[in-house]
Structure 1
Amino acid sequence: MKKIRIPLFYKLFIAFILCSTIPMVIISGMMYGLSVNFLNKIMYEQTYNSIATAHERIDSKLEEYTDIILALQTDETIINVLSNGIEVNFNENIIYEKIFDTIKEQKIKPAVHIMNISGDLIFSTSPMPKVYEVDSKNSWGIFRDINKADGRSVVYPQQIVYSGGSNSIISLGNQILNEKGQCIGYIVVDIYRDIFLEELRMINSGIPLHIVMLDENLYTILDVQNPSMEGKFQRASYLDREKIMEFKSIRNEIKKDSYLTVHYVDDVVGITTTANVPSSIFRQLNSILQVILLVGCMISLSICCALSILIARYISNPIRELICIMGQVEEGSFNVKAKFNNNDEMGDLGKYFNRMVDRLKEYMNRVIEKQRELRTTEIKMLQAQLNPHFLYNTLDVIKWSTKLGQKDEVISVVTNLAKILRNSIDCEEEFVSVKKSIDFIESYLAIQKIKYIDTFNVIIDIEKEIFEYKIPRLILQPFIENAILHGLNNSVQVGIIAINGRLKEDGLEFEIFDNGIGMTGEEIQRISNYRTDQHIGIYNVDQRIKLYYGDEYGVDIQSEKYKGTKVIIKIPCSIGGNNL
């Protein structure tokens, strides 16, 4: 399975993002949890303190009403009237003046009721509730608690609906005693619902609260949001049947929709206040907190991404540049340099790389020089191998031509031999033009045609546009010599040697064809892989071409026994020995 290649830049970028994102997620989660706990604590403390403050005001208000009761129950005029009844010419307004005088400082004035023990003498600032007329005679309700209180004021939760639309939710009451300590009547102060609402409005928590006041029996004294529950017990079974009339228990609400519930117990009056914070508040706060954290995380992540990109580029760019330079060196360019100014490992890497390239360049120059020397030596050896045989045969031709009086042939042989010897002496150049190589071959063939009279014909077809291209020295002549010596020498027919040169898309292509005796595949393999005296230079030519230009160029021999041989030589186009 092929491995996926991930560039170093992306590896560094991903690593930096992970190293910054993971702690950010952990810290954000911790901050979220701590923030939620902190909000819970703040909301609880703020709500609890607000309710406590409201209860302090309510307790203070109840103390004021208790003082009103004390002032009225000890008033001699009221005691005398309740003890002896109303005398002739007695003005009842005196009693009312005393009552109103005690409550004149109250912003919302409570209902005050004064009655004798039999209930037939009543002084009241509001219409006397009928329940008091019955309860006082039978010692029920608040009057039962008053009789058991031994002279202490009683706080009695009850709902009384007045004709004016005002409701009282708590009543304070006490006995009125005569000089002998006997109970002669009662005084009851009904505290209106609005008085409690006025005090609860002072709660400045900034949070919508559902506030319910309950007594120790879970009797609903006050329900700010659901007044229909006032005067009912939270655990009453009939509430389930009255849901259609919007009777809703605070306990059910807490179960269904509650985020925070605060309970405050007022031991002074025996009232428990429950404040329920709905879950919608938490959802709003949670949404705000999540948005803040999300925006913060997005900003932080953006900054981290930007910094990660900069740092990753700072680290990876020198490596990428070094890889690019290494690619140029691989392609043979040794003049490039790694220009790193970093005072770190990357700077050291660039410095050592430059040293390596310089040494490699020096080594390659030495190798190239040695190869050039070797190639020159090989050419000289090839010529040395060629010249003794060729000179001997040529001198033999001159001798016999002279004896036969063939003056023109002698002149031609001597002239062409001089050209060949001059070319052999001037062998320092590794590359010669195509035209110069063809001139050398024509001189060589002119001598051979005189030697082998009428045994072969030569056809030379070289495109003129390739005359100036450079080719390695002595890459064509060995194949022509082998064609004459081994291909046509034993042939019974007139031999043909065709020399073609063409410009192809991938370089120069030369073909040398002879219609001689040909070769088998084994013979081709043998002369292509070994250097022998019988087939001089063939192996050297192929190796030299591959050494110069690469394995995609070289010599290809195609032959069949008794059908001739074709040699194809492929080299790239070059001028002055440099590839185009």
Structure 2
Amino acid sequence: MNIARWFKNIKFIYKLMVGYVIFAILPMIIVTGYNSQKTKNILLEESYRNMRQSLGQIGQNLDSSLEAYKTVMDILYTNQMFNGYLVKDYTNSDYWEMFSYIDNLLSSIMLVESNIAGISIYSNNDTLPSDNYYFYNEKELNQDWLKSALSSKGNPQVAGIISKGKKNYVALERLLNYYHYSDVRNILLLKIDGSSFNDQIKITNSNQEVYWVNGQGQIMASSDKEVIGKGMGSITENWEDIPVSGKGSSLDIEGISKICTARSSLYGTRLIMMVNQESLVEATREVARDIILIFFVSSVGMFLSIYLYSRWISGRVNKVVYAAKKLGDGEFDYLLKDMGKDEIGIIAAAINTLNSKIQLLIAENYEKKLKIKSSEMNLLQEQINPHFLYNALSVISSMAMREGGKKTMMSVRYLANFYRISLNKGKQVVSVQEEVELLQNYMKIQMLRFEDTVEINYEVDRKALAFRTIKLLLQPLVENAIHHGRKDEEQILHIRVTVALTKDRLIFEVKDDGIGIETEKFERLRKELKNSEEGYGLKNVDIRVKLNYGEQYGVSVSSTYGTGTCVRVEIPQVFS
């Protein structure tokens, strides 16, 4: 099936509808889907970034606290007298002196560090009295904690959670082997108020979950206090696979997709943050649904409008076609009535005129008169007074201002100012100041179109403003930079316009940081400028400069592909 032929042969109304589906509905569906996916990806990237920032801040706070407790452990770890009392044989000795010293030492530490709820020593020194306050037998220590302390070789470890009623404490342990010179071993254990760690990982977003786990996967602190003390495996078995650096990962937890990221903390601990992915993209889905609903309603309205409008147009076109058939059949007395003054009405009026005069045009002078009429119409079109355009633009600007069309008003006003200067009562020479104003009005119009993607700066020597120049010298150069220099629609094009004076010349320079000119095209352009071949843009400016001021003046171009282009125009210094 030949689609082009089928489309050509179907009725006008169906052409409009097919065109609307292909060029409006399908692109809108594609754009909506693309934007939804793009927005979703942006939200996920932003969420990962925010999660990493939040986790980094929480981690810094936790590490600061742990460093403070490490300092306490370091004081006890390196205290020779303290360790000497712990390894001493008290079989035949009194231990009151030892108890008094250690009690004063540990009490003063807990007084300074209010979050330390208790300091305990677990020892295999059977002669050391077990008071179940400071001193405990090593056998009373959780065996997993004991193994962890022994394998740490004197480094602090986060052992786990100690629960008493509704109160949770985080246990920090350390093997006291700094002055190890006997078979006696002692394990220092700090009992830290767990609420101090929970306070440091508070979150403001209800969709976020934060967990602080030790090396064995036990949850030390969490945004959900109900899971403190449980294993991270109860949340997800894949918690160890969450990367501690980079972007993060996505996990399916109890049928809910969550994005996760992690951060290493001191003493083998890890911070894990999770966010419900569905909550992040729900806003995107709502926007997409709203867009689809609005598009559906507008499409139905557009379809109905197209149908009714095309029926009306088709009816009028059919009348014109019928009249044309009558004309083809030689019935020159058939006239179309009440056809309006739009394009179809003009065609109908032309047919009526043709019908009225066809008999006269059949004669020998028909073709000659038709050519004369065509020539006359073209001549009239070329002779339209350009000042009428300026006056009409001023009227349109006033109407747009009264009706609230600010951008329309500004655009028309800038265009009116452009023509006011460019017309200049037919004069081809203007002052440099007028030429700069002409460019500025042109750029104001362009800024309404390109907005922030084009930036222009002016460096004009005030002494040069009084000199004269041919009209429309700068505007083609800037227009050329905008249309040929932009790398893409998003990257900002910077243009610098310079007007300067040398010893006896007036220099105009337009420099941009755009894409530049390829070597082959640049060499061809330089050859065309050198030979003064006819053309537009740079060649047109160069020809006009040489015709007005002589061959020693004109346009020069320098360009580096990928970096930018600089166009320089030199003319003599003329006051009048």
TM-score, with length taken from structure 1: 0.46
Tell me which structure has the larger Cα radius of gyration: 1
